[in-house]
A = this chain, B = another copy of it.
Amino acid sequence: MSRVEQLQQALDEVGADAMVLRLAENVLLATGYWVQIGGLGIAVVPRQGEAALLVPEYEEPEARGSWPGDLRTFPAIRFDGESAPAAIDRILRQLAQEHGAAGGTIGYEGSFDSVAPPRLDGEPNAVSGGTQALIRSTFSTEKLVDVTPALEAIRLVKSEHDLDRLRVTNQIAKLGLDAFKEHAVAGRTEAEVAAAVESAMVAGGHGYEGARTVRAYATVLSGPETAAGWQYFLHRARRIEQDDVVMLELGTCADGYWSDHTRTVVAGTATDRQRQALAAVLAGADAALAAAKPGATGGEVDAASRAAVAAAGFEQFPHHTGHGTGFRYHESRPQLVPAGEHALEAGMVIVTEPGIYEEGLGGFRWEDDAVVTAEGGRLLAETDYGLD
């Protein structure tokens, strides 16, 4: 079943006549096109018939490359004719009429309280009052229904195309993971290392296996403070010292497909106990991946990871063991957490990120992305380096 057919089935189930999607992640889901500016790229999926993609005129060639269906364009970024809002209003009214959805029940992205940024990630869009008013007005209805649960469920299992693009995203992330190993040395500041990681990915990622647009989100922490590295940290102007522990947290987005990685290295020579800690973390990750088979629950995967870390003589920190990823840095499902009830299915993409944090020793976390298969989680990219 195509994505559009899945979305139409969801419309059937909630009794809605069409859905209007404005978030980059959901326009991508429906059409395969990753919009440049949120709100200036809209997908309309009717209960029956063809879905439509609205984009500014100047995006038509790129949009046409991803979306073979109904494509409607409007002028934007210029004041010498119809304005973009007026044109969007006009086209949505037309679509409402063409699909007999005017006055009907319309699905919208009603509970996305966090979002994946579009290509222009400095100013992401959201679905708030303005979008709801637009839908009410153009579809002549007060009957809006939140289709967030259906969207989250549909994107949970990745298609072959999704998996191929996620493989590319992970390969581009590897450019950054390798740059991290190279640059995480004494004398560099944390911010310099983060800049080098992102630079390697942006410079090397564009054009890599057809990737059009790559954005990197790196954060680096070093030194004794890594013992609190289970927190969300931020890099500083601090210079890495000899034998410091250095951690990288890395989000990667290639054409709307996301990955999430962590690496830990020592800028010099690791102690025996630090090596044991990383070995325990890797054992925890391996155990989680081995357990990540269709039918397993998030809680079972989490427990497998913690048991392996305990068997290696350490205690895994009580943050999550992992989560879903793909259309977002962090997908809402599945959660790989203590007692987590989400059941894994083949084709889901997850991360495993066990961590050990000890005062005096430092923080050790290692995170990779994997697709769930009958044999367990299969990694989407691997690096070939260790702690030092």
Contacts and interface: CB of A to CB of B under 8 A. Distances in A.
A111 to B, nearest CB: 4
Nearest to A218: B202
Interface string A177-221: 000000000000111101110111011011100001111010100
A148 to B, nearest CB: 7
Interface in A17-37: 36-37
Nearest to A328: B123
Q: Which secondary structure characterizes the binding site on chain A?
A: loop
Interface in A32-83: 36-39, 56, 58, 77-80
Given A79-B320, A79-B337, A122-B329, A207 B237 contact: yes
A265 to B, nearest CB: 19
Interface of A: 36-39, 56, 58, 77-80, 109-117, 119-131, 146, 148, 189-192, 194-196, 198-200, 202-203, 205-207, 212-215, 217, 219, 228, 230-232, 234-237, 251, 253, 258, 317-320, 328-330, 337-338
Contacts of A114: 38-39, 123-126
Contact of A77 (B79, B125, B319): B319
Nearest to A208: B237
B111 A319 contact: no
Q: Which 4 A-B pairs have the closest CB atoms?
A: A207-B237, A126-B126, A191-B206, A122-B217
Given A58-B232, A110-B128, A112-B128, 15 more contacts: A36-B234, A37-B232, A78-B317, A80-B318, A111-B130, A113-B128, A113-B131, A115-B125, A122-B215, A126-B126, A126-B127, A189-B207, A194-B202, A195-B198, A207-B237
B127 A128 contact: yes
A78 B230 contact: yes
Contact of A231 (B77, B109, B191): B77
A215 B126 CA distance: 20
Contact of A115 (B124, B148, B195, B219): B124
- Please tell me how many copies of the chain the complex holds: 2
Given A77-B319, A79-B320, A117 B128 contact: no
Most chain-B Cβ atoms within 10 A of its Cβ — which of A128, A228, A251, A319? A128
Nearest to A125: B114
A272 to B, nearest CB: 28
Contact of A78 (B146, B235, B318): B318
A34 to B, nearest CB: 10
B123 A329 contact: yes
A217 B318 contact: no
A202 B207 contact: no
A129 B146 contact: yes
A319 B58 contact: no
Given A130-B113, A235-B206, A319 B79 contact: yes
A119 B217 CA distance: 10
Given A191-B206, A199-B196, A121 B217 contact: yes
B113 A129 contact: yes
B202 A191 contact: yes
